[in-house]
């Protein structure tokens, strides 16, 4: 099924598939933070993120969110629709943490009355700078229709996942989504896993996400597995 290597990112490798309209994504055990400044290998990370992402993507498809996910091929590989990626990250924040605290001087953990939505340019060398709709339109990264769709879907996903994690005793603090074009339609792409979100225990506020790697808290993958278990996924 897997053919020539097309692209190798910080934690995933993309290969040609038998069908020209699809790709095979291999999830590796590599971990990175701070735009690739901090690197490590975490045992079992690739398997956990692949299966976690598959579980979430299938859940979203059932809620009428169109994604690039096709099916799992193995513990470390999934078949995906081949997207023309839009170089924009869509971020939703339900609580103050990370970058927004530094930018606006907010206290960590502050709950927002309504979710905060932000756009960022996906560009590691530039540090993924914050952008707005005017930038996206001026530089032709996406059309107004695509911008509106990405924002609407990101907020829809926020409601779905916030409910899923709340039932599991977890707070969805913030997360990012990426999108791409497929046959003229914009689909949810990339991955959804604890690598791309912040999750805190509802009672203790303990981190169950990539901050454990960023801040050297330890037992990163053990906590990812705990999240999976709480939402009904046995890893």
CATH of the domain at 105: 3.30.470.20
Q: Could you tell me if 35 and 91 lie in one domain?
A: no
pLDDT grade, residue 83 (50/70/90)?
Answer: very high
Q: Could you tell me if 162 and 93 lie in one domain?
A: yes
pLDDT grade, residue 234 (50/70/90)?
Answer: very high
Q: Is residue 205 part of a domain?
A: yes
Contact of 85 with 28, CB cutoff 8 Å:
no
Q: Could you tell me if 25 and 120 lie in one domain?
A: no
User: Taking residues 41-67, what's their average pLDDT?
Assistant: 98
Domain boundary among 81, 113, 131: 81
pLDDT above 70 covers a percentage of the chain that reads 100
Q: Could you tell me if 23 and 122 lie in one domain?
A: no
pLDDT tens for residues 24-46? Answer: 999 999 999 887 778 999 999 99
Q: Output the average pLDDT for the chain.
A: 96
pLDDT tens for residues 143-200? Answer: 999 999 999 999 999 999 999 999 999 999 999 999 999 999 999 999 999 999 999 9
Q: Could you tell me if 142 and 36 lie in one domain?
A: no
Q: Is residue 161 part of a domain?
A: yes
CATH number at residue 23: 3.30.200.20
Domain boundary among 30, 56, 81: 81
Q: Could you tell me if 42 and 65 lie in one domain?
A: yes
Domain boundary among 81, 114, 131: 81
Q: Could you tell me if 69 and 115 lie in one domain?
A: no
Contact of 23 with 15, CB cutoff 8 Å:
yes
pLDDT value of residue 34 = 85
pTM of the model: 0.95
pLDDT tens for residues 88-119? Answer: 999 999 999 999 999 999 999 999 999 999 99
Q: Is residue 235 part of a domain?
A: no
When divided into structural domains, the chain yields a total of 2
Burial of 96 (0-12, 13-18, 19+ CB in 10 A): buried
Q: Could you tell me if 12 and 101 lie in one domain?
A: no
User: Taking residues 130-138, what's their average pLDDT?
Assistant: 98
pLDDT grade, residue 122 (50/70/90)?
Answer: very high
Asked whether the predicted pLDDT for residue 54 surpasses 80, the reply is yes
Could you tell me the residue range of the domain that residue 115 belongs to? 84-230
């Amino acid at each position: 099924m897997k053919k020539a290597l097309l692209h190798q990112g910080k934690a995933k490798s993309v290969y040609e598939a038998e069908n020209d309209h699809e790709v095979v994504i291999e999830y590796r055990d590599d971990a990175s933070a701070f735009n690739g400044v901090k690197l490590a290998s975490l045992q079992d990370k690739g398997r956990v993120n692949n299966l976690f992402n598959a579980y979430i993507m299938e859940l979203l498809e059932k809620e009428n969110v169109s994604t690039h996910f096709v099916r799992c091929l193995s513990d470390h590989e999934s078949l995906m629709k081949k997207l023309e990626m839009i170089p924009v990250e869509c971020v939703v924040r339900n609580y103050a943490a990370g970058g927004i605290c530094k930018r606006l001087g907010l206290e960590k953990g502050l709950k927002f009355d309504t979710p905060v939505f932000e756009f960022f340019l996906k560009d590691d060398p530039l540090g993924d700078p914050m952008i707005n709709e005017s930038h996206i339109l001026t530089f032709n990264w996406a059309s107004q229709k695509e911008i509106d769709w990405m924002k609407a879907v990101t907020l829809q996903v926020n409601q779905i996942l916030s409910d899923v994690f709340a039932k599991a005793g977890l707070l969805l603090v913030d997360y990012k989504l990426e999108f791409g074009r497929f046959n003229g339609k914009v689909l949810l792409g990339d991955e959804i896993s604890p690598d791309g979100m912040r999750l805190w225990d509802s009672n203790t506020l303990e981190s169950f996400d990539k901050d454990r790697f960023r801040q050297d808290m330890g037992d990163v993958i053990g906590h990812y597995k705990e999240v999976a278990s709480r939402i009904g996924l046995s890893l």
